[in-house]
Structure formats: C-alpha cells, structure tokens
C-alpha cells in the first residue's frame, strides 16, 4: 500500500469513527429534536427560543445516552469500555450545557419540562411490579416516546411563546405524535432480531407486514391532520406531502436485516430534512 493510499485509508477510518460516534452519542437524534422545534416555530408562527432549542438539544443527548447505556447509576458510572467512556464524558458536558440554557427558561416552560421528565422517568426507571420499567413494555414504549417528543417539540415552544391555546396547536401536537410514532417503526422492525420475546413489541405481536400497514395509516394521518387547521398554506401541503412520501418509502423498505445506518441515520434525518425544506421554501 502506497503512502497516499495509506493516508486515504486512515482518513476514511477516522471519518467513520467520528460518524459512528455522532450516531452512537445521540447527536443525530438531538439534531432531529432541534429541527422539530424549528418546524413548530414555522408552522405555528411563534418566536424562536434559542435557549429552549439548545436546552432540548443538549438535554436529549444526555437523556438518550443515559437510557441507552444504562439506567442503573452504578452501571453508567463504572464504564470499562473506552469508547463508551468517551460517550459518557460527552454526555456529562452536554448535561452542563443543558443546565446552562435551562437557567434562562421561563417558569412555565419549567413545569412543562418537569412533566416530560416525569414521563421519561416512567420510561427508564422501575415503576411497575414485574416490569423493569415502561420501556420493557414494548407495545407501550413507542407511544410514550412519541408523546414525549410531541410535548418537547410543540408544547414547550408554545409555552415559551406564551401563546393562547388554539385548535391549530392541538392539531400540531397530534400530527407530531403521529410523525414520531411512524419514525419509530423502522427501529422496532430493526430490533426484532434482538428484542426478547417477552417485550411483545408491535412487530412481535402483529408481524412486520401489519406494522408497515399501521405505518401507512400513520403517514395518511400525518398528511390529513393539517387540513383540520384553521390556517394552512399551499407550501405546508406540499412539504407535508414530500415528507409523507419519504416516510412511507422508508417504512416499506424497512427490513429486519437492514444496513447499519438505515434507521439510525436516514430515518432520523427526516425531521432535519423537513425543517430544511421549510427554511428553503421561505427564501
């Protein structure tokens, strides 16, 4: 192997490790949440709150990594693997960032955050006899996650903007819930090989094909719900259609044996793409 080839090989390996860390450390999912906050400010025409957006960005990294790599304190603190230790340190720094931005949030948002943290705690910590946590109740898990995402990316920005409750806000929360629920289905199918049968996830209970049909219903609701709003523009209809097509294709192309980055990168990129399209259409 020549010098140039060796240098190229090392560069590609370094980039792959950086990209894997980007995904494994939940940075990509944090960008998805960050983007959905941006989508809310556009669709509901409310002010952008950078402190709230970055609080959710940094907080979601810490929260997701805590859930992914061990909800038991001893397991999370005593990390032997150097790669996971790096994620651990990164998560602690992100927690500091989240706390910094939390100091600038209004008390009203604080109550909303407290409610979402309670839901997250129910998801991660033991609350029911015979079950480690609500996360272990597979059929309920994705509905709880979708509710937390909808609350974080729609309800919190609305509380921060001190906007009066309206019909359109209710529709926006419903549409966001449906979107996140549909986004989670490829992950459920991907994890079918690894999930314990006792979890009774949707693919385990109903099969992959029925889950995909369920996903199609969710995509349909994602498109139709905005038509119930009091205010809806042609751009909104167009963008919702584009995202619905992309989401539907991803759901139906999902396989139990899928590429490493199919769900963790491409599927989770849909919220980022949605916000980008909103931004591009406003230029």
- Average pLDDT per run of 10 along the chain, which is 283 residues long? 68 89 96 96 93 96 84 50 85 96 92 87 58 58 92 95 89 96 94 79 91 97 93 84 96 89 95 94 79
**Closest residue by Cα to residue 219 from 254, 188, 252, 182:** 182
CB atoms inside a 10 Å sphere around CB 173: 19
pTM of the model: 0.90
The residues spanned by each domain of the chain are 3-39+47-281
CB atoms inside a 10 Å sphere around CB 252: 14
C-alpha–C-alpha distance, residues 45 and 157, integer Å: 11
Nearest 5°: phi and psi at 128? -120, 140
Residues whose CB falls within 8 Å of the CB of residue 121, separated by 6 or more in sequence, listed in order: 127
What is the DSSP annotation of 211-228? HHHHHHHHHHHHHHGGGG
Residues whose CB falls within 8 Å of the CB of residue 69, separated by 6 or more in sequence, listed in order: 76, 79, 84, 87, 88
In angstroms, the first-to-last Cα distance of the chain is 48
Residue 82: predicted pLDDT: 79
Pick the CATH number of 3-39+47-281 from 1.10.600, 3.40.50, 3.90.1720, 1.10.3470: 1.10.600
What is the DSSP annotation of 87-150? HHHHHHHHHHHHHHHHTTS-HHHHHHHHHHHHHHHHHHS--BTTBS-GGGSHHHHHHHHHHHHH
Residue 73: predicted pLDDT: 44
């Amino acid at each position: 192997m020549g010098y140039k080839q060796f240098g190229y090989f090392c560069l590609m390996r370094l980039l792959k490790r950086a990209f894997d860390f980007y995904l494994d450390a939940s940075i990509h999912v944090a960008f998805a949440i960050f983007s959905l906050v941006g989508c809310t400010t556009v669709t509901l025409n409310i002010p952008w709150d950078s402190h709230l957006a970055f609080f959710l960005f940094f907080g979601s990294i810490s929260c997701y990594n805590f859930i992914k790599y061990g909800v038991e304190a001893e397991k999370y603190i005593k990390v032997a693997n150097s790669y996971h230790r790096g994620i651990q340190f990164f998560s602690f720094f992100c927690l500091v960032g989240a706390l910094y931005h939390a100091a600038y949030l209004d008390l009203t948002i604080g109550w909303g955050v407290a409610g979402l943290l309670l839901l997250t705690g129910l998801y991660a910590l033991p609350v029911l006899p015979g079950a480690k946590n609500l996360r272990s109740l597979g059929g309920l898990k994705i509905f709880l996650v979708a509710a937390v995402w909808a609350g974080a990316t729609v309800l919190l920005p609305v509380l921060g903007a001190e906007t009066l409750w309206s019909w359109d806000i209710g529709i926006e929360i419903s549409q966001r819930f449906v979107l996140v629920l549909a986004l989670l289905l490829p992950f459920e199918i991907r994890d079918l090989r690894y999930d314990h049968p006792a979890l009774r996830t949707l693919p385990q209970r109903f099969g992959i094909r029925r889950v995909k049909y369920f996903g199609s219903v969710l995509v349909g609701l994602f498109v139709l719900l905005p038509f119930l709003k009091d205010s809806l523009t042609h751009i909104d209809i167009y963008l919702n259609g584009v995202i619905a097509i992309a989401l539907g294709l991803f759901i139906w192309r999902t396989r139990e044996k899928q590429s490493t980055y199919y769900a963790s990168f491409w599927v989770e990129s849909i919220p980022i793409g949605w916000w980008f399209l909103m931004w591009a259409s406003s230029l």
